[in-house]
Amino acid sequence: MKYSKGKARERRACLAEGEKKIKRYELICDNDPLQNNVNNLEVAKQEYELLLDYIVCGCIVRSRINWYENGEKNSKYFLNLEKTRRRSIINKLRDYYQTLYSNHNSKEGEEFASDFLESPNIPSLSNKSKMTCEGVLTCAECFEALKEFPNSKTPGNDGLTAEFYITFWYLSGQQLTDSLNYSFEHGELSSSQKQATIKLIDKKDRDRRYIKNWGPISLLNVDTKIASKALALRLVKIFPEIIQADQ
């Protein structure tokens, strides 16, 4: 048991070191994409995959399954294994986007922003156009926004789809509108309207081993999206006054 635990620790350490090596070579390739650097990255990935395959083989043996085929998706074991791998990918995605969107202080950027914002040539809205963007939502506005939604889309965590709201709008439309306006007047959405289910999905026909081929999406409840869409439709009407047609 002591020997096995020691070997397991060594493999986990090698796996962590392999991830660091891949990340290091990816940074090198981004800055200097020479063929030699690309080759080093591919070798590092192959070594990592071999070690990961060895660990998975051990899991298969310990699970005492009677048979195994590549691509098997129906057993509980392999579903759990997939979840474990996805958690690892989510952590990598988090690190990637934290670095990508981290704050970089730039005096040059601040000066550019100041010059732009203080320019007298920036177009502005007329008072009449401003008023069309303000005020509480109407039931008709919310229903027009709802009709813009495509069918057969995954709902948020309350399980209510756009089709449900369209079917029962005559019963729930005014109540939903009143709820959204109550949130507007009090400066805060309800608890469920502020919630989102974050799901990690892979891009179609892409290699799932690469972080760039995965992306997080947030599944919001439809009632929140109705409010957002209704406000967006207000903005569409006044866009021609402040932005160019090609924008």
From CA 49, how far away is CA 151, in angstroms rounded?
40
Q: What is the mean pLDDT of residues 104-119?
A: 73
Among 169, 106, 173, smallest CA distance to 139 is for 173
CB 219 within 8 A of CB 199: yes
Annotated domain spans of the chain: 2-100, 124-242
Can you give the C-alpha Rg of the chain in angstroms? 26
Residue 142, judged by CB atoms within 10 A of its CB (0-12, 13-18, 19+), counts as: buried
CB 229 within 8 A of CB 119: no
* Per-residue pLDDT tens digits for 127-181: 999 998 999 999 999 999 999 999 988 889 899 999 999 999 999 999 999 999 9
pLDDT at 239 over 70: yes
Per-chain mean pLDDT for the chain = 82
Measured CA distances, 48 to 32, 36, 103, 202 (Å): 22, 18, 32, 20
From CA 149, how far away is CA 161, in angstroms rounded?
10
Measured CA distances, 147 to 75, 173, 191, 221, 234 (Å): 41, 13, 25, 16, 15
Among 40, 4, 7, smallest CA distance to 22 is for 40
Six-digit token string for 211 = 């972080």
Backbone dihedral angles phi then psi of residue 237, each to the nearest 5 degrees: -70, -30
Q: Give the highest mean pLDDT range of 19-23, 54-58, 78-82, 219-223.
A: 219-223
Q: What is the mean pLDDT of residues 176-198?
A: 92
pLDDT of residue 72: 46
Q: Which of 15-24, 26-35, 97-106, 216-225 has the least mean pLDDT?
A: 97-106
Q: Which of 12-21, 68-77, 104-113, 189-198 has the least mean pLDDT?
A: 68-77
Distance linking the first and last C-alpha atoms of the chain: 66
Beta partners for residue 216, in sequence order: 200
CB 226 within 8 A of CB 142: yes
Q: What is the mean pLDDT of residues 39-47?
A: 86
Beta partners for residue 219, in sequence order: 197
Among 46, 44, 52, 42, smallest CA distance to 15 is for 52
